[in-house]
Structure 1
Amino acid sequence: MCAELAKFIPSEIRLKIAQSVVKEKGIRPLAREIGVNPKSVYKYKEGTANPGDEVMSKILAVAEQEDSIKLEEYLEELKSEFLEALELSFEPKQVLTGDSEEQKDVSEPKSPTAEEKKGVVQESTDRKPTEKSVDEKSTLRMEEVYNRIGVKKPFNRSKVEKIIGSFSESSRPNLNEIVELSGLSEEATEKYLEKLASEKIVNRDSQNTYRLSVEIERGD
C-alpha cells in the first residue's frame, strides 16, 4: 500500500512527512532503517532534496509505525488539496458568443438630465450606511468566518470549528483551556486564534483569556 501511495504524494508533502520522521527517529537511525546514506536523510531534513518513490514508500512505513496519527493528518491534507483541485478543474466557465440572446449593450451611454442628476444627489444624501461592522451584536455564519480568515481547506476548517466550539464550553477560556477543549496543538491553536483576532471575531483581554466578539451561527 505504501509503495502505491508514494507515487501520488507531491514533493511538498513528501518533505513534511520525511522531516517529521527524521525528527522522531534521527538522521542515522532512519538512514539505516530505510537503507540510504545519512547524507540523503540530512538533505530531506534540510529540504534540499526529495525522496523518490521507493524511498518514500519506506518512509511511509516507518511513519505509520512511529506516529500513525501524524501521518493521517498529512494524508488528510493531501486528500483535501486533491479534492480542492478537482473542484476547481470542473468549475463551470461562462462562455460569451456573438449569437447569445443576451448581449451586452455597447451603445454609448446617455448623459443624465439635470432632473436625474438632482435625483441621484438626493438619493445619495438620504442613503444611510447599511454595512455593519463586526461587533458584539454581529452574527456570522461559519462559512463567513472561514472566508474572513482565509481558510479554504476542509481539514483546516475543521480546526477552526473546534476552536470556535471550545467557547461553548467556557465563555472566557485561556490558551491552555482552548488547546485542551479543541484537542489541537498549542501551535495550531495560537495560529488560528491570531487569525480570528485579526478579524475581531475573537478578542484577547489583559488576563490572556479569549472571548467571542460575535455570535456564530452554525449550520444544521
Structure 2
Amino acid sequence: MTAAPYPAPQPARPDRRTSLTGPVVTTSIGVLVLLVTLVVGLLTARTFVGLVTSDVVSSSGEPGPAVVADAPAPGATTATLEAGQRYAVHLAWPAQGAIEPRLSDVVLLQAPSGAVVAADADPAVDGTFTAGRWSVESVAAFTAPESGTYQVAVPAADVADARVLLAPDQDLAPFVGGVLGSVAGVFGVLLLGAFGAGLVLGGVIWWVIRARARRATAPPRV
C-alpha cells in the first residue's frame, strides 16, 4: 500500500498584527498631504500679499510703476492719459500723520481739447494700505475722455506732506476673485493640514504598536 504524499508546505503568511505595511502607507500619505498643504499655503500667501500690496507707491515713498502722475497736495502736474481708460486718484500721507485725511476739493484735469474733467467718481476698489512709512487710500476716480497730455490741479489736504498719485483703476472682478481665492485657500490649508497631521500622528502611533508587537513575537535570541 502506497503512503499518501505529504502536502506541499505553504508559504508563511505575514502576521497582520505585526506587519508595518499599514503604518508605513498611512504615514507616507500623511506626509504627502502635508506637503500639498505647504504648497497651497504658499500660493494662498502669495495671492494675499498681492492684494494687500500695491504698485502705486514704494516703501520709500517713491511712485510705483503703475503711477502715471503724482503731485503734492496742493500742487499741479501733467499726465499722459488714454481715452476711455479709467484712472483712480490715490492720496498718500506719512503713516504717523492723521488717520484717513481728506482733500479739500476734487482733483481737476484739463484735457488737451481744453475740457475740464473732475475726478469725482468712486474707485472700483476703495482700499487703504500701508507701504513703509506711507499710508495710501483710493479717494476718487475718473475716465479720460480723450488721449493726450492733461494738466492736473491737486487741491490741499488736511495733513502735511500729503501727495496725490494717479494710476489706472483696479478691476473689481480680479480683486474679488483674489479675496475669495485667499479665503478658500485658508480653509483648504486648515482642512488639509488637519487631515495630513491626523494621518501622520495615527500612522506613527500605529507604527509604534506594530513595532512592539513584532518585538513581542520575535523568537528569543540564543
Q: Which range, TM-score by smaller chain?
A: under 0.3
Q: TM-score, normalised by structure 2?
A: 0.25
Q: TM-score, normalised by structure 1?
A: 0.25
Of the two, which has the highest radius of gyration?
2
More strand by share: 2
